Chains A and B, each alone.
Chain A
């Protein structure tokens, strides 16, 4: 019996050894490790980044955002014109084919736009309610009429969720399409989806820019644990991994086989303030809170110096960012004096913290120490992230750290959420300013870029003066790739330009 077991053990070990040779991926196929797997291939039914990354590999849009994340460029729409009243948009669709060989027509484009507006399962209906009609006036011309003029409308067409889908393929069965799309308009097609594990993409030979695509395929592989994901790249079993924690950057940079890629993002972390709670209703008190926070210290400790101090809710490098915006100096003594003057010298704040998030918990401890120097008592209340969201909505907090990333290049989307005095209480802050409210609405309708820029500068100045929230820091995307991978790039809106990536 002993001998038998021994020989079985040896056999298993030998098998394992011989197998290890097969882990290396095929040449030309790029493997990317990420935290979570996709949830669907129907672009209108997801609002998750994990899905958007893959949607933009598989489907093309009418209008794209360029690599810098600040300009629009033609996608499947070769060109477009806007009527003088700003209500009618006419798009010329380029000669292109779906992966199944059928032509991409204006009818497919109209179908996709109306579907995201009307489909019961669409998570994006609200964003496209502004569309009055969309029709194919001829096979290559799409005419869209809006209910009101809208400066950001063109940039909303660049969202991966409103990608051009094949009407025929979707109508053949929505559920089947969501599982494995049979026709794609983008650089890659979906070959296989192993749920929970990986999405396997293959080069689409019918893509209108097929010459540009160097990779034979892409595999998006789910590796939820940050440590395991990094080890995979270090061991050479994955070509790239995204979401490198700040704390790992220095160590990975020392590995000669790896390049750490730091790309500009639109992420901004900020401290929400509940304007309806006691002394926080006073502008001077909020200004004192801002002055009591040493943002530089947060950037250095939490992001290991990889972030930059934020001075506006519109991130640096984004359209209409006002770089000359005022920045409150770090001055705890003055903050203390201001609080005393406002009759709030015994200010005590309830801080809702996302438990289990390393960065959020670090910021909480730092802020608690910093604010105490200005005489502010901070009580930390750690809760699960989806619970904290409920508490913020209900107004059951004084301060809390949150972040935002843009998914369209136009500032209108974030501005409306944060300062538009809409249904979400100005992103849970309960901030009120008639001046800002009117400016946000006017900036949406203003079609002259120069005038719009001035309006957004005014909004940023006023919001800063009122301390609608405290801007903390901007941080980049941090990804890691083996040295043989070139042009693995993520633009500020999060799109991966895999059509340009090369694996040597």
Chain B
């Protein structure tokens, strides 16, 4: 079982990574010019009111002391108070996790559902017309900016055909899923192109591999060779590709959540940045960072489990 030793050791490496991220986000967000107190008070801000807000949220303290307080709070499982919403940042984030998580999961599942058939068609017809068709479709998928693609999907499916909700989230499970179809599809249309390419390459290699040749020699039909031997092996690099793309995927949800009015963490982050709500920006950045680290860790475990030859 020593192949799995990294499962115990790897988390030790996370601590310095997350600590580093906390310092970087803490400093970066304070380096952007602008003052949260002034944004909060709007055009009617008076110097006394601004000073009052700054004192209330500890913004008048030296930056190293603010960071110390931030770490101390983190130790107590708190992330400070939002300047804009005046409630604890963790509570605020907790109300926003579900839509983002659901969007990411649906997008990944949908991408795989699109990429696997596309890559299979391309790989089994490598160099012929279907392969070229898949490549052209992929290029389109990458070429369109996601916010534009999202709006076009809304116009088609919600305004013209009246099949799906334009935007928002829902309150019941079915309602939520209906609201997630278009945003997930928007992300999946661009994510699946990346997956298709990697899968296609792995499948072509798999079709030429000794395993496949041996299976064919035993008289196994080509269809079975593909589904039983080629496809599972080509999924290993794809898992890693997905994990590496987590950061990109999270960045994508920020745009898509705004277009589709999904009340998730991406929207929370955008508004927090515009209003310089430091604590919320730090909090969301930390959650995103931890999620990325965790996904990559899980991908490593999955890789080891899927392929007995891999050692980490």
Contacts and interface: CB of A to CB of B under 8 A. Distances in A.
B159 interface: yes
A491 interface: no
Contact of A39 (B84, B147, B169, B261): B84
B43 interface: yes
Interface in A211-267: 221-225, 227-229, 231-232, 234-235, 237
B47 A423 contact: yes
Contacts of B166: 228, 231-232, 235, 237
B94 to A, nearest CB: 10
A417 B44 contact: yes
Nearest to A124: B49
Interface string B25-54: 000000011110011111111111100110
Contacts of A36: 271
Interface residues of B, number: 61
Interface in B144-164: 147, 151, 154-155, 158-159, 162-164
Nearest to B82: A39
Contact of B267 (A39, A196, A229, A390): A196
Interface string A376-420: 000000011111011001000000001010000000010001000
B155 A20 contact: no
Interface string A24-57: 0000000000001101101001011000000000
B151 A234 contact: no
Contacts of A390: 33-35, 38
A121 B56 contact: yes
Contact of B165 (A1, A123, A237): A237
B168 A223 contact: yes
Nearest to B161: A20
A227 B151 contact: yes
B297 to A, nearest CB: 29
Contacts of B154: 228, 231
B178 interface: yes
A197 B169 contact: yes
Interface string A1-37: 1000100000010011101101100000000000011
Given A386-B276, A423-B46, A424-B47, A37 B158 contact: no
Contacts of B208: none
Interface residues of A, number: 59
Nearest to A356: B274
Contact of B155 (A195, A231, A389): A231
Interface of B is mostly: helix
Contacts of A19: 174-175, 177-178
B214 interface: no
B86 interface: yes
B97 to A, nearest CB: 11
B227 A1 contact: yes
A93 B276 CA distance: 41
A178 interface: yes
Contacts of B92: 195
Given A231-B159, A234-B159, A384-B33, A126 B49 contact: yes
B85 interface: yes
A187 B86 CA distance: 26
Contacts of B168: 197-198, 221, 223
22 contacts: A16-B178, A17-B163, A20-B178, A22-B175, A47-B44, A123-B40, A123-B49, A126-B46, A195-B92, A195-B263, A198-B168, A222-B261, A224-B267, A225-B258, A228-B261, A231-B151, A231-B158, A231-B159, A237-B158, A383-B33, A386-B274, A389-B39
Listed from nearest, the 3 A-B pairs whose CB atoms lie closest are A196-B263, A386-B34, A197-B263
Interface of B: 32-35, 38-49, 52-53, 56, 84-87, 92, 95-96, 113, 147, 151, 154-155, 158-159, 162-169, 171, 174-175, 177-178, 181, 227, 258-261, 263-264, 267-268, 270-271, 274-276
Interface of A: 1, 5, 12, 15-17, 19-20, 22-23, 36-37, 39-40, 42, 45, 47-48, 120-121, 123, 125-126, 175, 178-179, 194-198, 221-225, 227-229, 231-232, 234-235, 237, 383-387, 389-390, 393, 402, 404, 413, 417, 422-424
